[in-house]
Amino acid sequence: MSPKKNGDDMAGEPLEKIGYADKAVPNITVQILSLLLLTGLAFGLALSWSKTLLNITTAIAIISVVFAALRLTACLIKRSKKPDITVIDDWPFYTVLVPLFHEANMVPQLMAALSQLDYPKDKLEIFMICEAVDPETINEVRKRISGSFHLVIVPPGSPQTKPRALNFAMQRARGTFVTIYDAEDMPHPSQLKAAVRAFKTNPKLGAVQAPLDYANANTNSLTRQFGLEYAALFHVWVPFLATMDLPFPLGGTSNHMRRRALDEVQGWDSHNVTEDADLSFRLAAKNWYIGYITPPTQEEAVCDFDAWHYQRARWMKGYMQTWQSHMRAPLAPGGWRGLARFLTLQLTLGLTLINALFHLPVMAGVAIYYLHHHLAGHAIIIPTPYLVSVAISYAAGMVIGAVGALRANKPELLLSVPFMPFYWFALCAPTIRALLELRRNPFHWHKTDHGITPQTLLKAPVKSLTNAHEYYS
């Protein structure tokens, strides 16, 4: 594959309309929708501000209840525990992409974990992708290069992002299927074979996602909330959307792609800071489906609030970039699949951003209203639909977290479920940062440090470098 650089023409509709995150063409669809919304709001407030606010509250309540109902439905749909025993005599060639940047401390553990992948070594290539400006990580990788491992050195350039590194490495890739792992990952050994079986079973699948679990979820109150969030996402919500044949944002790691599908969407958007979420909806725009496999990947959750804040700000900024790009062709590829893609774009990215941005201010406003009227002795009037929607939404959010914890075999997280609303409040600050950065510094990549939590390192074989395993520009 030779991914086209941003700014080049992309072959075929609807990708031509979607473009890239750095595309300067105004999004006419979003502008028209915003104009209609603001006009309707101004007209309604002019006629009757009280009725307009009540109608807005009711609309929000309805949307919240519908979303909550979907999440509760997801909790009721059980995943199949029947193992896939599809017999495959000739395993296809597989490429594993591992982008690294200033992560020399993670290399021993990472390469040891990847050495445990249960896949024919003559059908496997593992690309350890390092930036040329990062000699420390390059040297650590070189010490351990052998067998299926290869070192790919990305030349200096802009933007210096993970998707740019992935696109560069794909020029060397030979795999029929491709996956991505991050520096802190410890994938289940059977994950590649599970992905191949899924692709063989369903030729419409363009990608499959493996669940991500946090090995250090019980470290402190922040990691416990992060663990509940991931458990709900990867053990309840994502399997539900996959079962319903609806597209969903891929995780940044442990997503497995069919090479033909990846070629068809021209790889990753080098300027999008959540290239995984963007890729999901590009695949859906070309009528590819996204599936789910069960062998998990263990990761390391960030342990302090500052690191979490900047990581989440990048995710939220990427969601904004993705939403803007894909709203240029909101109903692609047309028909039912186009409508499903549009609805899940709003459901997964749109509502995530809205909830993160407005949940804290709205609840704070209600609290101030209540306190002010209580102290002043005035009647407290809060619309019933609002109270009902809040109760149902909070209950659904905590239930999906609890169910996810049980499915992820992390019952110790259940004691943290009642504190989930405080975590939701915390999402506001990084979302505001993301909104500001979207205008000031849209392509800046907040780097997350790994290896903070002490873990027992596996012993990786150290062998000398062979030139056949090292690629440059």
Q: Give pLDDT, residue 30.
A: 75
* CA 291 to the chain's CA centroid: 14
Sequence-distant (6+) residues with CB within 8 A of 103 are 137, 183, 450, 451
Read off the pLDDT band of 461 (50, 70, 90): very low
Read off the pLDDT band of 83 (50, 70, 90): low
Q: Are 405 and 425 in contact (CB under 8 A)?
A: no
pLDDT, one tens digit per residue, over 126-139 is: 999 999 999 999 99
pLDDT higher than 70, residue 3:
no
Query: Which whole number is the average pLDDT over 38-53?
Result: 78
Q: Give pLDDT, residue 376.
A: 86
pLDDT, one tens digit per residue, over 354-413 is: 999 989 988 888 888 888 888 888 888 777 778 888 899 999 999 999 999 999 999 999
pLDDT higher than 60, residue 232:
yes
pLDDT higher than 70, residue 121:
yes
Read off the pLDDT band of 2 (50, 70, 90): very low
348 or 458: which carries more pLDDT confidence? 348
Sequence-distant (6+) residues with CB within 8 A of 233 are 404
Q: Give pLDDT, residue 12.
A: 54
Read off the pLDDT band of 460 (50, 70, 90): very low
Query: Which whole number is the average pLDDT over 98-108?
Result: 96
Using alpha carbons, select from 210, 232, 312 the residue that is nearest to residue 70. Answer: 232
Query: Which whole number is the average pLDDT over 56-60?
Result: 76
Q: Give pLDDT, residue 17.
A: 82
pLDDT higher than 70, residue 6:
no
pLDDT, one tens digit per residue, over 259-273 is: 999 999 999 999 999
What share of the chain in percent tops pLDDT 90?
Answer: 70
Q: Give pLDDT, residue 463.
A: 33
Query: Which whole number is the average pLDDT over 119-123?
Result: 97
Q: Residue holding tokens 């409040």?
A: 425
pLDDT higher than 80, residue 38:
yes
pLDDT higher than 70, residue 114:
yes
Query: Which whole number is the average pLDDT over 52-67?
Result: 80
Q: Give pLDDT, residue 154.
A: 97
Model's pTM, two decimal places?
0.90
CA distance linking residue 59 with residue 386, whole number of Å? 9
Query: Which whole number is the average pLDDT over 404-425?
Result: 97
pLDDT, one tens digit per residue, over 156-170 is: 999 999 999 999 999
416 or 384: which carries more pLDDT confidence? 416
What share of the chain in percent tops pLDDT 70?
Answer: 90
Q: Give pLDDT, residue 34.
A: 78
Query: Which whole number is the average pLDDT over 97-102?
Result: 97
Q: Give pLDDT, residue 25.
A: 65
pLDDT, one tens digit per residue, over 299-344 is: 999 999 999 999 999 999 999 999 999 998 999 999 999 999 999 9
Q: Give pLDDT, residue 50.
A: 67
Q: Give pLDDT, residue 455.
A: 53
94: tokens are: 């597989």
Averaged pLDDT of the chain:
89
